[in-house]
Structure 1
């Protein structure tokens, strides 16, 4: 039977394959937690950046902890969740700092607290327990469901705020600390006043974020991640990283990016919301490839691609070209202000073919407001046209409206409706392209968490306790009377912040 020592040996094996692991003795100790498994967490640039920032703070040190791949083994063997660097129980640290990327990671946070022996609800914790903090990409849109479980929310870019937090936490008792942080923009402490929603912006001197550790055991195998830019200058209506979120796009000179890449990094990932909008991106790619490194880019915009840029990606080892259309038809793309046309995507496919790539991957959404069957038919027709240039893999996700975007409050299209549109798309394609859909059911769960308040977090806890299946979430949302933001707007007669078209009468989403 698998036991505690086997679990420790697994972690030690992962550590043995890492380059750049940080070790430091300091009086204030932080367990840096990621509520998904190691291979996902170590692919997160934000998580890795916080690891480096905490170690850079003179009085603090960080050790990492992840949601185990085998939670049930930890439960069965009564193994407390422990950190990677020293295999020390997480509960012995002064602070647990969670980086939460998106809504469905809430249950991972619950499991990590449970395995640590720490009460999930903050109201059940006292001075004996570590301070529980959460930040990460989720805080750019709607962190409300996290409120019942964390002492402090760090909203937005935490590069500077983490140092403010560490300085205060090391010198203040918990109650005084919470009152103090509530008065500082960027921190949210429920029930203590202060600004409820504030997306912090890091000072430019903190840029770029980059990996501390390179490991083969990630989604991006042995890749050093670094950002040549942060933010976005575009205004896509569905996106939490649009130009109004945090001051638009801030670029980093290629010379600085190159100076921060370690010699041992043979694969480099350029990460950002709009990397190909960087005015010197081709120059940066060419220099990296000429140095003998493989290179990847996280966000390719079809309207910014050139043959030279795609050629450099191919020279850097890319065999597929990935672009996002984010609208089943041109009408839908115009609705969400997505600045792409069919002509630009066709041109990108031809660039990829000329460069010798094997496949074009296109990300798209279905279920936008006012979408009709004709829009899905247009997507099928256009995808077939693309497939005549290069084999196509079509990633299709149901639209989920996010808070604090122009499409905030847009209703979910419906599980049956989304599944029907996916089936219509498959029939229209007639096998000419591979379709990789995201589950409509779990997209609806994500929508409920994205559009509801703290009560949705409590519902997620109920569902997690009941096994975490879809039926458990559906029942929990109903029992907690979770009402998405669009329903409240209709009932309260409040005016939408922007004039976007939608269905005015929304039925309760539980049927």
Structure 2
């Protein structure tokens, strides 16, 4: 069939452009699934790290599979979802291991299971079907909505746990395996137990995560990614990867980082939650640039920038400087313990101008607890000030409270309220700065998934089956009785009120309807 042939031909053409693809014959085969398209999945450092770890395990091999760009062609031609390395049907593998980065990728997981010919609900699968496992960044916050669809949850850093899982899966029958994993820290088996929200920590010997396959067909074109540090030393109240998560920041010596960069890599990306907090970051950047390579950094903290650091980024090919403010005003930044000031961000803009960069990109959030119009006006005033130094692109995202953070349980500000704030920003900055907002509606959907339990996963399935519109999501949440976690969390087996940042003279924030 012509359409099916074209699908395989497309995959083979992308494979031909890869460097570092692994191929191995082994008795236990894992289909490593990413519920977003290839160009997104191949930019995921964690996904590539697990791909390497499975291949390093004796007796196991991994083949990749992604959410197709052309789902309708698969359906029209009745083509079963197949893996990239061998174009074998995904349903023929012993295990499907999903790496889920954030809440809205649930729909991609449903589609991949459907295209594989597998029941979406785990309750409708049995020993005839592959074992369906899920891990990834989402498990650091709230993996509960995944429970109805997976057999096993791998929680936290999986570089060590994947070997535990493969060892057990290759030697046990399904029922015995599930009973066994329910007792192993780091695993959760829905309906059978396992510590909830136990986030595993990889041993230092597994660090750093790094790219296995370099390809030009990604968000980060032909870039070799490597982490000079993992975790964070800071305590921002909204962040899942704060200093209390997995022991804080762990740094990797520059010498080890440099030894792992392949000779053919001409572009290097340093990835982590707080790369510029690495005590030897300038030295590392300088050495990479001196070797003739381009270099990028994923997380620039304004209070850590120096002229020399920004100059090295410019020498490495950067034309824009990106920093995160994460608070419309200084009051909001102080409220969430974001450790930088207006003066430090202004200084960063001046560093960028001196280095010859063309634009300053600033990421921010709106809709934090206690935020007022005056805070939005302060953001307008400050962004205007920055634009006099360098052209500014302001990325704005509605605040979404995540589990396992001090702001866990904080309410969503409300669709109308968030849209009003975004409109106020657009009007105030028209002709002065480019405003790039993300959708308030989809932020609310993300919030519901982040703050609800397994019933929200079932609502996501309903919305997906109904076409995936916002109206379908809203109706599904209502019909499934989804209630956000609002102001409560579990501590020592007892429910305690979540403590949000308190502003003297103001009542705690109250939930707003979508």
Q: Please list the CA deviations of residues 482-503 of structure 1 after superposition, one character each: whole Å capped at 9, or x if unmatched.
A: 00011667xxx95324352396
Q: Is the 8 A contact 2:429 2:435 kept in 1?
A: no
Q: Is the 8 A contact 2:488 2:497 kept in 1?
A: no
TM-score computed with the length of structure 2 as normaliser? 0.97
* CA distance in structure 1 between the aligned counterparts of 2:507 and 2:31, rounded to whole angstroms: 45
* CA distance in structure 2 between the aligned counterparts of 1:497 and 1:121, rounded to whole angstroms: 32
Q: How do 1:149-188 residues align onto structure 2 when only pairs under 5 Å count?
A: 149-188=149-188
- Verify: 1:379 aligned to 2:379, yes or no: yes
* CA distance in structure 2 between the aligned counterparts of 1:240 and 1:434, rounded to whole angstroms: 29
Which residue does the alignment assign to 2:513? 509
Q: Please list the CA deviations of residues 431-482 of structure 1 after superposition, one character each: whole Å capped at 9, or x if unmatched.
A: 2000000000000000000000000000000000000110000000000010
- Verify: 1:345 aligned to 2:345, yes or no: yes
Q: How do 1:362-401 residues align onto structure 2 when only pairs under 5 Å count?
A: 362-401=362-401
Q: Please list the CA deviations of residues 164-221 of structure 1 after superposition, one character each: whole Å capped at 9, or x if unmatched.
A: 0000000001111011011111100112123112000000000000010000000000
Which residue does the alignment assign to 1:500? 501
Which residue does the alignment assign to 1:402? 402
* CA distance in structure 1 between the aligned counterparts of 2:63 and 2:511, rounded to whole angstroms: 47
Which residue does the alignment assign to 1:10? 10
- Report the alpha carbon displacement of residue 506 of structure 1 after superposing the two structures with TM: 4.2
Which residue does the alignment assign to 2:95? 95
Number of equivalent positions:
507
Which residue does the alignment assign to 2:21? 21
Which residue does the alignment assign to 1:206? 206
Q: Is the 8 A contact 1:369 1:503 kept in 2?
A: no
- Report the alpha carbon displacement of residue 246 of structure 1 after superposing the two structures with TM: 0.9
Structure 1 243/293 Cα, relative in aligned 2: closer, same or farther at 3 Å?
Answer: same
Q: How do 1:94-493 residues align onto structure 2 when only pairs under 5 Å count?
A: 94-486=94-486
Q: Is the 8 A contact 2:275 2:299 kept in 1?
A: yes
- Report the alpha carbon displacement of residue 423 of structure 1 after superposing the two structures with TM: 0.6
* CA distance in structure 2 between the aligned counterparts of 1:13 and 1:188, rounded to whole angstroms: 38
Structure 2 counterpart SS, 1:309: helix
- Report the alpha carbon displacement of residue 508 of structure 1 after superposing the two structures with TM: 6.7
- The runs of at least 4 consecutive aligned structure 1 residues that moved more than 6 Å come to none
Q: Is the 8 A contact 2:231 2:243 kept in 1?
A: yes
Q: Is the 8 A contact 1:448 1:456 kept in 2?
A: yes
Structure 2 counterpart SS, 1:343: helix
Structure 1 10/195 Cα, relative in aligned 2: closer, same or farther at 3 Å?
Answer: same
Q: Structure 1 unaligned runs (5+)? A: none
Q: Please list the CA deviations of residues 242-271 of structure 1 after superposition, one character each: whole Å capped at 9, or x if unmatched.
A: 000110000000000011111111000000
* CA distance in structure 2 between the aligned counterparts of 1:267 and 1:331, rounded to whole angstroms: 39
Q: Structure 2 unaligned runs (5+)? A: none
* CA distance in structure 2 between the aligned counterparts of 1:233 and 1:10, rounded to whole angstroms: 43
Which residue does the alignment assign to 1:39? 39
Q: Please list the CA deviations of residues 99-153 of structure 1 after superposition, one character each: whole Å capped at 9, or x if unmatched.
A: 0000000000000000000100000001000000000000000000000000000
Structure 1 197/488 Cα, relative in aligned 2: closer, same or farther at 3 Å?
Answer: closer
* CA distance in structure 1 between the aligned counterparts of 2:498 and 2:168, rounded to whole angstroms: 37
* CA distance in structure 2 between the aligned counterparts of 1:149 and 1:309, rounded to whole angstroms: 46
* CA distance in structure 1 between the aligned counterparts of 2:42 and 2:367, rounded to whole angstroms: 32
* CA distance in structure 2 between the aligned counterparts of 1:248 and 1:85, rounded to whole angstroms: 37
* CA distance in structure 1 between the aligned counterparts of 2:368 and 2:231, rounded to whole angstroms: 24
* CA distance in structure 1 between the aligned counterparts of 2:155 and 2:407, rounded to whole angstroms: 20
* CA distance in structure 2 between the aligned counterparts of 1:208 and 1:32, rounded to whole angstroms: 20
- Report the alpha carbon displacement of residue 427 of structure 1 after superposing the two structures with TM: 1.4
* CA distance in structure 1 between the aligned counterparts of 2:152 and 2:276, rounded to whole angstroms: 35
* CA distance in structure 2 between the aligned counterparts of 1:499 and 1:394, rounded to whole angstroms: 27
Structure 2 counterpart SS, 1:148: helix
- Report the alpha carbon displacement of residue 430 of structure 1 after superposing the two structures with TM: 2.9
Between 443-452 and 426-435, report the one with greater CA deviation.
426-435
Q: Is the 8 A contact 2:412 2:511 kept in 1?
A: no
* CA distance in structure 2 between the aligned counterparts of 1:509 and 1:476, rounded to whole angstroms: 15
Which residue does the alignment assign to 2:71? 71
